[in-house]
Amino acid sequence: MKTDDSLKKYFEEKNVTGTFGLYDNGSGQFTIYNLSRFKDSAYLPASTFKIVNTLIGLETGKIVNEQMVIPWDGVVRVFPGGDTAKSWNKDLTMEQAFKASAVPYYQEVARRIGRENMQHWLDTLNYGSKKITTKIDTFWLDNSLKITPDEEMGLVKKLYFGQLPFQKRSQDIVKKVMLQEDNANYKLSYKSGWGFRENGNALGWIVGWIEENRHPYFFVLNVEGAHDLNLGTLRLDILKAILKQNGFLEGKR
């Protein structure tokens, strides 16, 4: 494992603190910025929990497949920055809801799964703190459930190789909907997250993997900043800057 403090500049440029981890599955090389935050600090998973919520939904039959529609309930919602959540305020398939990170869709999925079933799977997965101390449809958003960046890394690595305790079909569907960019140079698969810590700070995630020459590299980005910080594109800007510094995205590997 090597620590890379040169990555600090990408966080400072955006006025955030955070951590980043990259794992080269072929060589076993771990590159980490801010090791103590990566391994020892736990945070609300926010919408990165959609990975697990989807897996449990598929496994329990509450989500039939990625085309399953949950009708919009008619409530107009807004994003944390205040903009109307147009991508949420309509009927959505599971795939659309995953890509748009639509909270209402997945709150309904969680209600259908139920507390007892959800707790069983959190325990089975040993997912973070495994705690549902608040409501079944908010516990991943309100600091009840927490997970370390290191644990997020372990989850996406096992998902990629089909090693989680779910049917292959469930894992394959989630891997498919996580694919965000696919071109001649690389395939980039991830799930983002955006929430708020108890201290009011904005917290952002991007967890997933990049494949170049059919070889996977797993990553976790965790950022934290002022409450009113717009994390929308900021997270992806930092991720891509770090990946480029490490020789990704431009067909050089």
Residues 16-63: tens digit of each pLDDT: 999 999 999 999 999 999 999 999 999 999 999 999 999 999 999 999
| Backbone φ and ψ of 208, nearest 5° | 165, -145
- What count of other Cβ atoms lies within 10 Å of the Cβ of residue 75? 8
Q: What is the mean pLDDT of residues 233-246?
A: 97
Residue (of 172, 202, 190, 192) closest to 233 by Cα position: 192
Q: Which residues of 99-114 are buried (b: 16+ CB within 10 A; e: fewer)?
A: bebbbbbbbbbbeebe
Query: Strand 92-93 to strand 215-225: parallel, antiparallel, or no bridges (unpaired)?
Result: unpaired
In sequence order, the 6+-apart residues with CB closer than 8 A to the CB of 57 are 63, 94, 109, 112, 113
Kindly list the strands in the beta sheet with 2-3, ordered across the sheet, starting from the edge strand earlier in the chain. 2-3, 29-33, 17-24, 215-225, 202-212, 187-196, 179-182
Q: Residues 209, 180, 174, 40: is their CA dihedral positive or negative? A: positive
| Backbone φ and ψ of 13, nearest 5° | -60, -30
Tell me: pLDDT of 82 over 80.
no
Q: Annotated active-site positions, please?
A: 47
Average pLDDT, the chain: 96
What is the CA angle 147-152-153, rounded to 5?
145
Q: pTM for this structure?
A: 0.97
Which pLDDT tens digit goes with each residue over 97-111? 999 999 999 999 999
Residue 231 confidence (pLDDT) = 93
Q: What distance in Å separates the CA atoms of residue 225 and residue 196, rounded to the nearest whole number?
A: 10
